[in-house]
Structures are given as structure tokens and as C-alpha cells.
Chains A and B, each alone.
Chain A
Amino acid sequence: MAQTTAPTSETRKNGSTRGSWKKWRRVTDQSRFEQQLDPGFTQEITSIPNGERLHECIQCGTCSAACAVSAFMDYTPRRLIAMTRAGCRDDVLHSLSPWVCTSCYACTVECPKQVPVTEIMHALKRTALREGEYPRRFTTPIMAREFVGMIERHGRSTESWISLKLYLKTNPFQLLKYYRLALRLARLGRLGFGRESIRRPAELRRMLEAVETPASRVPARGTSTGSVGSLAVAATGGGS
């Protein structure tokens, strides 16, 4: 999927996959009809604070170049911005890029038009989770849900548990790779297996539920947070 080491001119010429079918991408209809585009999607994403600046994007690509992980994205952040602006809802929600984003904010601080790129990535992830359009075997969305569920129940996260559950759900074989490291950490006292919790987790849950309450006056938002909440609960149910 991506380079693990910077290629030299050698490897470029003598790539082992010469002639392999893997080198050609399967091509489907790449055109987009206007009716396929969803202006409502654009509107939803740009409704975040300073989100309207998305319309001011000049497509200079600073975000992509400043991004440490854009090399591992299917669409660069700049393309995602352009696609979001155009209303390419499906293409954007089926992109792995937001899930690769590490939220390091390099794009945000470098953007010459101060487009809140990282926050837009978060907004895309929220929409994707809400609509169930996220990659099932990719750890980041699962992680986000697991994490949220754990906080809702205990108020704090326990690194050992969250990692364990994550790998069980996505790629159990990865566990084998890391068990040595985990054991070592545990020996050094850096990986506790006792579950962390705050003293009043119920109070915290009550507070989080109350976040939705005043917004019930605003139906659109109320439903959105509501459904995410239930999603988190579902994740909890699946996990334990």
C-alpha cells in the first residue's frame, strides 16, 4: 500500500512487480454527474466553527505537503477539501484519509487561508460514523468508538484494555507481534491491567447526556448526537 523505505533509483527501475496486474488499477466510470453530488453534505461539513473557510480554499496543497501521513492517504487532504466543497459525499465518506489523519494540526497552522483542515477531518469522521460509512477492518474508527464507549462507562481509558480489544476486533494476528512489547511494558509497570475508572462514572454519563438536552430544541443536531450516542452504546454492547 505504501512505501516503507524511500525508494532509490535502483528499486524504481527493477521493481519486482514488473508486468504484474497488481500495478494496474481497476478503472470504473470516473465521471460525476451533478445529481450525484450532495450540496447538503458540503453545508453540513462547513457548519463547524470557521468551516465556511472551506469555500476560500485555493487548492494550493500546503495541507497535503505539510501532512506527515498524506503519503499513506488515498486522497490527499487537499483533494478531500475539493471533493467536500463539490459535494462528492460518497467519495469522501469512502476515503480512508480521515481515518489516517493523526490530528497533528500541521495542515491547520500552515494553511494560507486558515481553513480548519483538522477540524474538517473530525467532522468527516463524525458524519461517517453517524451514517455507518466507515471501514470495518480499519482500526481507527473502531478505536474511536471503543474509546468513546470506555470513557462513557468508566470516565477514563485503560490503555491495555483498549489495545487488546482493538486488535481482537480488527486484526488478532497483530497481537502476536506486540505481545512481547506488552509483556515488557507490564514488567516495567507501564501497562496496568486493572481497569481505571473515576469514582462517579454515572455522574459523568448524566453530564454527557445533558449535553444533548438543550439542543433538543434544534432537532437536526439533537438527532445527530443522539444517534452517535446510541452507536457508542452499541459498540459497548459488542465489546463486552
Chain B
Amino acid sequence: MTYAFFPGCSALGTGRSYVESLVAVLEKLGSGLNELEDWNCCGATAWPSVDDVKAVALSARNLALAEEANPGTDPVDVVAPCAGCYRALLKAERALEERGEVSERVDFALQTVGLRSERRARTRHPLDVLVNEIGVTRIGAAVTRPLDGLKVACYYGCLVVRPYATFDDTRDPTSMDRLVRAIGGEPIDWSMKTRCCGGSCYCGGPLIGAMPEATLQLSHELVKEAKKLGADVIATVCPLCAFNLEGFQDRMSREFGETLEVNVGFITQLLGLALGLDERTLGIHRMLRWNLPESRRAAQGGVHAPA
């Protein structure tokens, strides 16, 4: 199965390794991603603060591009890995379905540039695709280097499950936990799965600028709790969450007077490792906090080395 793919702006920057690993993992599992031709910014959460209809229009253009590239397909699944993009596209999808004043204006705007929304596009999150389309059984079967009980703190963040819970529970999501279990890891049982990291999803993270103490405190709570519960790594599904948790760990350690040093990565990177992909393909060398020498684990576990 090939999906339409909306990488989002962060894929070009801080979230680069997320997209790299996602593409590699899906390819390994026999699914492909077709990047949308000339996609634009989803609008993030900054646009709704300025103009809510234009925010919808921005995302609607991407959905319309996906439909244009896949004529006759219904629904057209658009994979949006970034949590912020995922929510923005979903919101546009809902607004278009409602067919109210907003959708009327957006439809008109699309028309002026020769595009058309036929309400065929359906926004999907990678977790959704991995768990509900590919399935944990298939993923489990494809594992060549199981994680050997690696303790993973599954951190879903906010916008993957809020405000729209399309594929998982809003308060107690489990899709990532199931994935971790499928690849031989051990998800820790913690209460912070969907707690806000303080990032505020604009690419660049504005709250850290306005109120560093707020962002630091929220991120610190997460990292500290993961550390307390013995997590080896925090797995994320959002470029901004990942960046907040890894990028500011030094500063957190300084401000809160404790050494944190918790590994932070994307769930797709863990999946990739378990599927036998090498670190470079998965963009692990780009991570700021990654001290999980998979070579070490491979030696210990004595598992099949990749060819």
C-alpha cells in the first residue's frame, strides 16, 4: 500500500530523522510514501490565532493536492507524521465535511487556483497506519533484532489524540505501547502519556522563548518521571516534543539540579532498529540524546546480525 505523504516543515529541520526513519520503516514493511507535490505549511497552531479560515484553507490545499494526485481513490489516505500537522489537516477535513460557511469560502479559494476538494482525503497518523493498517502481528513477525526488554516511555504528546481521537483513546492511548511490545520492548506504565511538553506546536517552539521556565518545567516533569520509572528511552511521535525533551535536557539538569540524561528518540527509530535497519538510515546520528548502542545490544542478545 502506498500512502500520500505530507512531511510538514519540521521534516526539513529538527524532525528530519523522524521522517527519515518513518520512510525507511514503512518501506521495510512493504508500504510506500508518496510525498505530495508542492505541499505547503499546514498552518500549525499559529494560523488559527491569526485567521482561522485561512488556516483551514492552507491544510485544505494539501488535502486537495493529495486528491488530485490520486484520482478515483476513495478514501485517499494522507500520512502526516508531525502531531501539529496531523491535527491541522484533521481539523480542515472536519471543517470541509461540515459544509458550512467556512467550507464554502475554502472551496471557493481552492477553485481560484484550480484545485477541488472532493472530501476524499483522510488524514492518518503513522501510529494509526502502523497499528491499524500494517498491524502489530506483521511488525512483530518482521523483527530481526528484538529490543530485549528495553524499557520505553511511550510519549504521545497532545495533538495526536486531542481534540480528535480517531484511532486511539484520548486519555489512555495504547497504540505506541502495542508497537513497543511487538518489537520486544517493555513500555513503562506512566501517567504522562499525553501531558503537554510545553512546546506549543509552532515549528520553533515559541513558549520556550516567552516563558522558558514554563517549557522547562513541563519537559522536566516528563523526563524526570521517565527516569524515575527506569525508562531507557522516551519514544515520541512529534518533532517538537522530541526536540523539547532532548534539546533542553542540559538546561533542565542545570536548573533543577539533577542529572537527567534520558535518551530521546522517535518510535519509528526504535521500530527501524528492531527491523534490522542501520542507525544512519534511521537518522539516529542526528539525535541529541541517544546513547543506546544497538551494537551492544546486538552482541548481548546474540541476535541475527543484519546482512
Task: Report A-B touching, CB under 8 Å.
Answer: yes
A76–B159 CA distance with the chains assembled, in angstroms: 21
Chain B residues lying within 8 Å of A106, measured Cβ to Cβ, are 158, 162, 194, 196
**Residue A148 is within 8 A (CB to CB) of chain B in the complex:** yes
Given A48-B52, A105-B162, also A158-B13 (CB < 8 A): yes
Is the CB–CB distance between A196 and B210 below 8 Å? Answer: no
C-alpha spacing A138/B200, complex, angstroms = 14
CA distance A181 to B9 in the complex (A): 20
Residues of B contacting A158 in the complex (Cβ-Cβ under 8 angstroms): 9, 12-13
Chain B interface size, under 10 / 10 to 19 / 20 to 34 / 35 or more: 35 or more
Q: Could you tell me the distance between the alpha carbons of A217 and B166 in the complex, rounded to whole angstroms?
A: 36
Q: Whole-angstrom distance from the CB of B43 to the nearest CB of chain A?
A: 7
Shortest B64–chain A CB gap in Å is: 10
Q: Does A188 contact B (CB under 8 A)?
A: yes
Given A118-B163, A211-B106, A138:B210 Cβ within 8 A: yes
Binds B, one of A21-29, A77-85, A197-205: A197-205
Question: A-B pairs with CB below 8 Å: how many?
Answer: 240
Residue B110 at the A interface, CB < 8 A?
yes
Q: Is the CB of B49 within 8 A of A126?
A: yes
Please tell me if B129 contacts chain A, counting CB pairs below 8 Å: no
**Closest CB in chain B relative to A67 CB, distance in Å:** 8
Q: Which of the 9-residue segments B138-146, B211-219, B263-271 touches chain A?
A: B211-219
- Nearest-neighbor residue (CB-CB) of B20 within chain A: A189
Interface pair B170/A109, CB less than 8 Å apart: yes
Which residues of B in the span 107-152 have a Cβ within 8 Å of any Cβ on A? Answer: 108-113, 115
Q: Is the CB of B213 within 8 A of A163?
A: no
The answer to the question of A208 belonging to the interface, with a C-beta cut-off of 8 Å to chain B, is: yes
Which residue of chain A has the shortest Cβ distance to B170 in the bound complex? A109
Shortest distance from the beta carbon of A62 to any chain B beta carbon, whole Å? 13
Tell me the B264-290 residues at the A interface (CB within 8 Å): 285-288
Cβ-defined contact, B46 with A166, below 8 A: no
The segment from B23-31, B54-62, B70-78, B178-186 that touches chain A is B54-62
Interface assignment of A191: CB less than 8 Å from any CB of chain B = yes
Q: Looking at chain A's contact residues, is the secondary structure mostly helix, strand, loop, or mixed?
A: helix
Interface pair A181/B247, CB less than 8 Å apart: yes
> How far, in whole Å, are A42 and B170 apart by their CA atoms in the complex?
30
Contacts A102-B198, A126-B52, A129-B50; A190 near B213 (Cβ below 8 A): no
Check if A162 sits within 8 Å of B203, measured CB to CB: yes
Is A215 located at the chain interface by the 8 A CB criterion?
Answer: yes
Query: Are B214 and A105 interface neighbours, CB within 8 A?
Result: no
B45 contacts A196, CB within 8 Å? no
Q: Check B3 for interface membership: any CB of A closer than 8 A.
A: no
Q: Is A11 an interface residue (CB 8 A)?
A: no
B-contacting 9-mer, from A33-41, A52-60, A86-94, A167-175: A167-175
A72 CA to B212 CA, complexed, in Å: 11
- Cβ–Cβ < 8 Å partners of A212 in chain B: 105
Partner among B49, B110, B112, B285 whose Cβ is within 8 Å of the Cβ of A144: B49
What's the Cα separation between A184 and B206 when bound, in Å? 20
> Contact at B109–A208, with CB atoms within 8 Å?
yes
B260 within 8 Å of A by Cβ? no
B160 to chain A, nearest CB (A): 11
Question: Cα distance A96–B207 when bound, in Å?
Answer: 12
Q: How far is the CA of A143 from the CA of B211 in the complex (A)?
A: 13
Interface centre among B40, B49, B108 (most CB of A within 10 A): B49
1/0 contact trace for B283-300 toward A, CB 8 Å? Answer: 001111000000000000
Contact in complex: A126, B112 (CB < 8 Å):
no
Shortest C-beta distance, B21 to chain A (Å), equals 13
**How near does chain B come to A115, taking the closest CB pair, in angstroms?**
12
Whether, in the assembled complex, B80 has its beta carbon less than 8 Å from a beta carbon of chain A, the answer is no
Most buried by A among B39, B163, B247: B163
Residues of B within 8 A of A208 (CB): 54, 57-58, 109
Question: Is B17 in contact with chain A by the CB < 8 A criterion?
Answer: yes
Q: A103 contacts B201, CB within 8 Å?
A: yes
- Whether the Cβ atoms of B38 and A4 lie closer than 8 Å is no
User: A126 CA to B98 CA in the complex, in Å?
Assistant: 22
Contact A104 B196 (CB under 8 A): yes
Contact B203 A129 (CB under 8 A): no
Whether A100 pairs with B211 at a CB distance below 8 angstroms is: yes
Measured between beta carbons, the chain B residues less than 8 angstroms from A4 are: 213, 216-217, 255-256
- Chain B hits for A159, CB < 8 A: 9-10, 12-14, 203-204
- The digit string for A204-240, where 1 denotes a CB below 8 A from any CB of B, is 1011101111110000000001001101100000000
Interface centre among A140, A170, A206 (most CB of B within 10 A): A140
Task: Tell me which residues across on chain B come within 8 A of A99, comparing CB atoms.
Answer: 210
B195 on the A face (CB < 8 A): yes
Q: Which residue of B lies closest to A125 (CB)?
A: B49
Are the CB atoms of A207 and B105 closer together than 8 Å? Answer: no
In contact, B44 and A207 (Cβ under 8 angstroms): no
Alpha-carbon distance A185/B17, docked complex (angstroms): 12
Q: Which 3 A-B pairs have the closest CB atoms?
A: A104-B158, A102-B200, A68-B196
- Of the A-B pairs whose beta carbons lie under 8 Å apart in the complex, a sample of 12, sorted by A's number, is A3-B213, A103-B48, A106-B196, A123-B52, A125-B49, A140-B206, A148-B51, A157-B9, A188-B287, A207-B110, A211-B108, A213-B108
